[in-house]
Amino acid sequence: MIIKPGTRKRGDDRDEAMAQSDELEALTKAFSGHGVDETTLIAVLGKSHPEKRKAFRKGNPQFFKEDERSFERWDDHRIKLLKREFSRFKNAVVLWAMHPWERDARLMKEALKDGPDSYNVLIEVACTRSSEELLGARRAYHSLFEHSIEEDVASHVHGPERRLLVALVSAYRYEGTKPKEDNAKAEAKTILNVIKSGEKKTDNEEVIRILTTRSKLLLKAVYKDYQEISGSNLDEDLKSDSRLQETVQCLCTPERYFSQVLDLALEIDADKSTKKALTRVIVTRADVDVKEIDEEFNKMYGVRLTKKIEDTANGNYKDFLLRLIAKGD
């Protein structure tokens, strides 16, 4: 068959249509998830013709909507979301470069500003740092904001959780290696009796005393003894008191706690506050226990944390998180 100059085969049209479909799919993926795939955006959008960009707009109603004047315009809410995704890499790098004391101080300040849904960050910092690290964060907070963290927690937090949170951020725990086993058994029985009584545990002075003053080593022994005495895990029995539950998990089973936080943060439809935890946890635990968190995540969810991030995150943000996790190997 003779093909006249300037004519096209139907196969060429099909190939072009498939290529355009692949590009649209790549663009959609680049804008979805955590972070933005900058390389794909440059490769596809940078060389695209107006008609291809129009096809992208029409093919993505989650990003664009038809204006009454017959053009496709960005959804305002989507623009705000994308600005956050573009900023994820920058925020991760900035946090990573900070002195750990300043980083923790700023994380606590932001948690207070964001309100009750972010108070778990206060618990994370207070319960997963050493006594010296928490003292350093308090010093940095004082320097940065000209208030004490205790003062700001007391003035911002209302209700029964205030006493617990003030005591946690004020703590300076003993970090010796010899907790008394008798103390652990006695404290476990005290907490069990409070739980059995049915009274509100967030207000209980004895429970707060135990969780905010005892060493982490002793509290892990309390956690073990509680399970032996009651037949259930302490954090499970505290599920009706979320702040106490988070406190126990951060003190006694931090790898499990952080795995749960990361799993929620890696959901595509997670809200802004929940998504922020991905950066926070990886950056703050990269030099500490990210390898153990990765192993616990795999045990709990049947997939490596690195694989989950590879499948969910995009671009430089993804690459930076994976590099931080690799530090633990």
Q: What is the mean pLDDT of residues 189-213?
A: 90
**CATH architecture, domain defined by 181-252:** Orthogonal Bundle (1.10)
Taking domain 253-329, whether its CATH number is 3.90.550.10 is answered by no
Lowest mean pLDDT among 7-21, 69-83, 140-154, 209-223: 7-21
Most confident of 157-161, 196-200, 302-306: 302-306
Mean confidence (pLDDT) of the chain: 90
- Please give the C-alpha separations between residue 72 and each of 61, 62, 64, 78, 80, in angstroms, as whole numbers: 9, 12, 6, 13, 17
Q: What is the mean pLDDT of residues 202-216?
A: 93
DSSP string of 194-233? HHHHT--GGG-HHHHHHHHHS-HHHHHHHHHHHHHHHSS-
**Spatial CA neighbour of 149 closest among 101, 211, 98:** 101
Same fold, 181-252 and 253-329: yes
Q: What is the mean pLDDT of residues 269-292?
A: 95
If residue 322 lies in a helix (H) or strand (E), which one and from where to where? Answer: helix 315-326
Superfamily of domain 101-172: Annexin (1.10.220.10)
Fill in the amino acid letter for 101: W
C-alpha to C-alpha distance for 226 and 41, rounded to whole angstroms: 54
281 vs 67, more confident = 281
Contacts of 22 (CB under 8 A, 6+ apart): none
Q: What is the mean pLDDT of residues 122-131?
A: 98
Lowest mean pLDDT among 17-21, 26-30, 60-64: 17-21
Q: Where are the domains of the chain?
A: 16-74, 101-172, 181-252, 253-329
C-alpha to C-alpha distance for 212 and 198, rounded to whole angstroms: 21
Segments in 46-174 forming alpha helices (H): 50-58, 76-97, 100-114, 119-128, 131-145, 149-156, 161-170
Model confidence at 7, pLDDT cuts 50, 70, 90, reads low
Cβ(34)–Cβ(266) below 8 Å: yes
Q: 16-74, which class in CATH? A: mainly alpha
